[in-house]
Structures are given as structure tokens and as C-alpha cells.
Structure 1
Amino acid sequence: MDQEMNVRAKMAKLKEQKRVADEINELLTRPGEDGLNESSRKTMKNLEVAVVVSKRPGFFEYYKPAPEVEAIQKNGEIQHLVKKLNRLGGEIAQLDAESQNIEAMRKPLKMSSGPELTSLAQWNARYGTVEKPVPSGFYSGFNDAPKIYGGTEHHRAFKTQSRTMKRGRLIR
């Protein structure tokens, strides 16, 4: 029941989104000089010509868009419609997520134990190995010896190359 209502709501939102997209498209692609795309193209072309003509003496008259186009730009109708389109897209995504949640709740939970485990290697592969915290002094460790042999006037001092072992039960 919820799924059916969710599908109907989604279809209504999709129709609304299509209507808004068609409205934006109609504003952009109107025939003649009333379309925003055509007005923008003419403005850009006019500015390019104005740059070339600006080096010559005289006056250049810039392109002025139709009053309807100026009104659309001034009112920010396109920005308003784009925000509405984005809001509808978010609502549709939310309905999709709700639909997926409903579908997931419908499916019975399967308590599958999987294939039977016959060895410790299979158990470790499925569940991972157990890492116990190692107490200090459990492993043997090797540290550089701190001994420095002193130098003379002719020879520099140097550190010993030996290492000392701290004894533990196991060696890494």
C-alpha cells in the first residue's frame, strides 16, 4: 500500500519536474528575438563587434534585448525555475530512498550461515584472526648498543655496530 502511494507521488513529482523543465526550455528557445538563447547570442556577437569597432572613431550602438527578455532577466525567472527543478529532484530522490527502504523491509531477513566451516583456515578467512594484546617483555627485542668509542687526534669517534638483545619468550 505504501509502495503504491510512493509510486503515485513519484509520478506526480516527475510530471511536475517535466512541466518546469519544459517551461525553462520554452523561455530559452522562444522563436525570434524573445528567446533567452538568441538574445544571449546576439549580445555576445554585438560585444565582439564592439571590441573591433572600438579602435575606430565614432559611436557604436549596442544591442538591446527585447523588453520581455529584460523583464525575464530582471525578475530572475530562470533562477527561480532552476531552484524549483532542483527541489523537485531532491524530493524525487527522497521518494526513491523511501521506496528502497519499503522494499528492503518487505524482504524477509535470511539468516544464512553460509557453507559449513571445516578448518581453522576457513574460519580465519571468514571471521579474521584474533589479535590478543601482547604483554611487554613477551617478544625478544634487539636494540642498538649505546656505546661510543672515543676518538684521537687522528681518528674520529664512532658508534659501535653491535646490538643488544632484550630477552623474551619469543623472537619476532
Structure 2
Amino acid sequence: MANVTFNQDPVTLLGNEILVGDQAPNFTVLSNDLKEVKLDDYKDKVKLISVVPSIDTGVCSEQTQRFNKEAEDIGNVQVLTISMDLPFAQARWREVNKVNELEMLSDHRDANFGENYGVLIKELRLLSRSIFVVDSANTVTYAEYVSEVTNHPDYDKALEEAKKAK
């Protein structure tokens, strides 16, 4: 399992670590209009899944805005941002920040995504910052568990892998 810290303090991630080559686990999260969304809803598409602890923090906001900006340039890739934020807070943030090129999804209801992808922080009930690229056959082609949750992920590597995925 990935060794992760939050503000330099070790945290416990619940669930199993996802590795490159794994079949991506399905998940159920909520859209901003409270509809259930599953991985299967994006079949036959490459998915770049950007995971953030809370959209209302600096690094999370920057990460989401960066992937929103890059979304048009990475071709046939569906960009998803998943956090534990309430769908209403995500919708408000999207509107204020004019983020329209990606989907924001909430795992607040039952932490299904967090547990299935091994990113649920036990001590905080937040998701650990991470990036997953899943190809159109739902195979994981890139996985990054950011070792310090308050740090940025490797944007360039994630975008490169998303562009290569089929």
C-alpha cells in the first residue's frame, strides 16, 4: 500500500492500492445533480480520474483548473474530478471558476470510489490526492498516489499517459 502523509503526518488509506495493469474497479458516485454515476457510464472512453481531498483548498482548486484547461487538448479523454465534497459545493465551485470541460463527482455518500481505489483516508474521511488513467477497456494505464496529500501530482506525466491511452 502507498505510504501517504497529510501535513507530514502518516495517514491510513482504506481499500486496495490500484496498480498499472489492473482492471479498474467500478464505482458509484454522485453527479452535481445527485444522479448516480458509475465507471461503466464511460465505457469505450479513456478516463483521466483526478482525485482531490476538497475542492475549496488551494492545491485541489489548482489541480482541477489545470485538468479543465488541458481537457480540450488531450483528445478523446473524459476527465473526471472526484472528491468527498457535497455535489452542491462542487456545482457552486464549478460555476464560480468557470470549469466546464470536466465532470466533478462526489463520493460523499458512501465513499465507494475511495474504498475501491484505495484512496479513502481513514483518519479524515477525505480522499487522498491521486491520479488514475483508465483506458477504453477499463485497464489502469497510470496510477499516482501523491505521497504528501498537500503536494501537487505529476500533471505532465498524467497528461502524457492519458494522451497515449487507447
Q: TM-score range by the shorter chain?
A: under 0.3
- Tell which has more relative contact order, 1 or 2 (C-alpha 8 A, sep 6+): 2
Q: TM-score, normalised by structure 1?
A: 0.16
* Structure with higher strand content: 2
Higher Cα radius of gyration: 1
Q: TM-score, normalised by structure 2?
A: 0.17
* Structure with higher helix content: 1
